[in-house]
Amino acid sequence: MVAAGGVTVTQYFNEMYQNGKVRAPYAQLEDWMNAMPAQLRTLKQAEAEDLFRRIGITFAVYGEGGDPDRLIPFDMFPRVFTGAEWGRLEKGIKQRARALNAFLVDVYGRGEIVRAGRIPARLVYQNEAYEKAVAGIKPPKGVYSHIVGIDIVRTGPDEFFVLEDNCRTPSGVSYMLENREIMMRMFPDLFRGNRIEPVDRYPDLLRRTLASVAPPKCSKDPTIVLLTPGPFNSAYYEHSFLADLMGIELVEGQDLFVEGEFVWMRTTEGPKRVDVIYRRIDDAYIDPLCFRPDSTLGVPGVMDVYRSGGVSLCSAPGAGVADDKAVYTFVPEMVRFYLGEEPILKNVPTWQCGRQDDLGYVLDNLADLVVKEVHGSGGYGMLVGPKATKEQVETFRAKITADPGNYIAQPTLALSTTPTFVAEGVAPRHVDLRPYCLVGERIELVPGALTRVALTEGSLVVNSSQGGGVKDTWVLAE
């Protein structure tokens, strides 16, 4: 068993054990773990898998082949934060979400941050994700990104770093809710013994957030819909799950149409006006009259309705300019510029390969760095220097040299570990954290998040598309 052997790992922060002693928030879990015979654990793991399969929560993995409906592995060992730890995280997350939205309002308005020389004009205005179609629009409550997913890693007791921001349509929140649901069903005693903050208010808060950004032309209780690309999308389960929990319609592009100044939904009782669209389709596909003319997933004319105040789109097209990996470097600057505050959450030091000095450093130290594509996501097209073969490093060297502006590099972070059930028992595995911050009239964060875990020993890549799993994430009541 590796249970107490967690202490042998010295260069990584182990969230459960420090100096051979269990940290306070994990004390009860240690008893729980020790009291669980291997046989029961196997049984429980099978039960959890069965539950996930029955509710139909699967995650399609692009580009890997194999079974598109395979389950994302669920690890039963919860990850725990104390109320005090979470309190500080919460402040930092909300601060960042406010700054990101202030940035979006600014760059689609007068662009003060660019005029002030705090961020290069090129990074903003020549950014692929910049949509000039939304310039000059004032979205309700000044919000462009209504659900901000912020990926955070921990490297020490008080060391938290933001890896990246997700301002478009971050997915995965259904796992946060389902992981909790399943843990409560399987281990009710754990929840009696620990005072764990609930996360089940999330759907209600999301619905209220969406309702709070109803457009100026809506004078009644707003009608909200969730627009999905359809069942072939990898996150379709989440779309239907959230629509169901919020009590709103799940629609595809063909269910909506534009007539006059508004968007309408086809219903059995005739057309019904739609006020807020929580869209889970990409910018390029939203409206063939404004973006890709060949898109059949969107709603022709919806952008004109949006821009003339007849409907709200959540998130606003163009919100992605704030979560680009090159723009990321400037988020701490945004916090200072717009809020006049010091950033609570730190950025990971980042080298821009587009800068001559940085490029030299990156090419000289490739074997020690993590290199990412500026617009990449899901852990694809990424080099983890210390884990890569010589050939992989050289392939990346060629790619970076050919198009330096497309790459950024970061030090390989010592991601914290939490205990995880593995074939041999329990062992430390690296984790990250994705909280979902809601921004509307108010700014809300449920005390919980999605913890992703790299199940392969030593692996630092937690993306589900690269074989990562998920855990229930607890915040203990103070």
Partner 1 sequence: MLLSVDHVTRYRYDQPVRAVMQSHRLTPSVFAGQKTRNWTVTVTDGIPGGTFRDGAGDVVQSWTVKGPVTEIEVRVTGTVETFDLAGLLRGHRELLPPEVYLVDTPPTRADAALTALAHAARNPEGALSTAHGLAAAVADAIAYRPGATHAHTTAAEALALGEGVCQDHAHALIACARAIGLPARYVSGYLFATADGSAHEAAHAWAEIHVAGLGWVGFDPANRCCPDARYIRLGSGLNAQDAAPIRGIARGLGQESLDVTVAVQDLQQ
* Nearer Cβ to partner 1 (89/311): 311
Q: Does 259 bind partner 1 (CB under 8 A)?
A: yes
* Nearer Cβ to partner 1 (170/310): 310
Q: 35 near 4, Cβ under 8 Å?
A: no
Q: Name residues whose C-beta falls within 8 Å of residue 39's C-beta, 6 or more positions apart in sequence.
A: none
Closest CA to 88 of 158, 7, 28: 158
Minimum CB separation of residue 234 from partner 1 in Å reads 28
Applying CB under 8 A, the span of 147-155, 257-265, 355-363, 447-455 interacting with partner 1 comes to: 257-265
* Nearer Cβ to partner 1 (32/125): 125
Applying CB under 8 A, the span of 62-70, 134-142, 244-252, 411-419 interacting with partner 1 comes to: 134-142
* Nearer Cβ to partner 1 (124/409): 124
Q: Does 109 bind partner 1 (CB under 8 A)?
A: yes
Minimum CB separation of residue 314 from partner 1 in Å reads 19
Q: Does 213 bind partner 1 (CB under 8 A)?
A: no
Helix intervals (H) in 213-296: 236-246
Q: Residue from 3, 289, 363, 414 that binds partner 1 (CB under 8 A)?
A: 289
DSSP 325-377: TTGGGGHHHHIIIII-S--SSEEPP-EETTSHHHHHHHHHTGGGEEEEETT--
Minimum CB separation of residue 311 from partner 1 in Å reads 10
Minimum CB separation of residue 124 from partner 1 in Å reads 8
Q: Restricting to residues 328-347, which ones interact with partner 1 according to CB under 8 A?
A: none
* Nearer Cβ to partner 1 (109/157): 109
Angle at alpha carbon of residue 437, lines to 431 and 439, rounded to 5°? 165
Q: Which two tokens stand for residue 424?
A: 């041999």
First to last CA, the chain: 32
Q: Residue from 288, 320, 404, 469 that binds partner 1 (CB under 8 A)?
A: 288
- Lookup result for tokens 């940035």: 103
Q: Residue from 173, 290, 413, 476 that binds partner 1 (CB under 8 A)?
A: 290
Q: Does 258 bind partner 1 (CB under 8 A)?
A: yes
3-state secondary structure of 43: helix
Closest CA to 105 of 127, 149, 146, 136: 136
Measure the CA dihedral 375/380/382/386, to 10°: 160
Closest CA to 335 of 93, 88, 87: 93
Q: Which two tokens stand for residue 461?
A: 């890549």
Minimum CB separation of residue 121 from partner 1 in Å reads 5
Q: Residue from 154, 207, 280, 307 that binds partner 1 (CB under 8 A)?
A: 307
* Nearer Cβ to partner 1 (215/448): 215
Q: Does 126 bind partner 1 (CB under 8 A)?
A: yes
3-state secondary structure of 393: helix
* Nearer Cβ to partner 1 (27/284): 284
- Sign of the torsion formed by the C-alpha atoms of 160, 18, 464 and 477: negative
Minimum CB separation of residue 380 from partner 1 in Å reads 23
Q: Does 240 bind partner 1 (CB under 8 A)?
A: no
Exposed, middle or buried: residue 76 (CB in 10 Å: 0-12, 13-18, 19+)?
buried
How far is Cα 420 from Cα 39, in angstroms, rounded to an integer?
16
Q: CB 149: neighbour CB atoms within 10 A? A: 24
Minimum CB separation of residue 256 from partner 1 in Å reads 12
3-state secondary structure of 246: helix
Number of residues that bind partner 1 (CB under 8 A): 35
Q: CB 8: neighbour CB atoms within 10 A? A: 11
Q: Does 305 bind partner 1 (CB under 8 A)?
A: yes
Q: Does 235 bind partner 1 (CB under 8 A)?
A: no
Applying CB under 8 A, the span of 10-18, 25-33, 66-74, 110-118 interacting with partner 1 comes to: 110-118
Q: Residue from 37, 293, 340, 458 that binds partner 1 (CB under 8 A)?
A: 293
Q: 259 near 243, Cβ under 8 Å?
A: no
Q: Does 132 bind partner 1 (CB under 8 A)?
A: yes
Q: CB 329: neighbour CB atoms within 10 A? A: 18
* Nearer Cβ to partner 1 (92/300): 300
Q: Which two tokens stand for residue 142?
A: 């000044």
Q: Residue from 308, 377, 412, 456 that binds partner 1 (CB under 8 A)?
A: 308
Q: 127 near 321, Cβ under 8 Å?
A: yes
Q: Does 310 bind partner 1 (CB under 8 A)?
A: yes
Q: Which two tokens stand for residue 43?
A: 């049984």
Minimum CB separation of residue 108 from partner 1 in Å reads 7
Residues forming the site for partner 1 (CB under 8 A): 108-111, 114, 121-122, 124-126, 130, 132-137, 257-261, 288-290, 293, 300-301, 303-305, 307-310
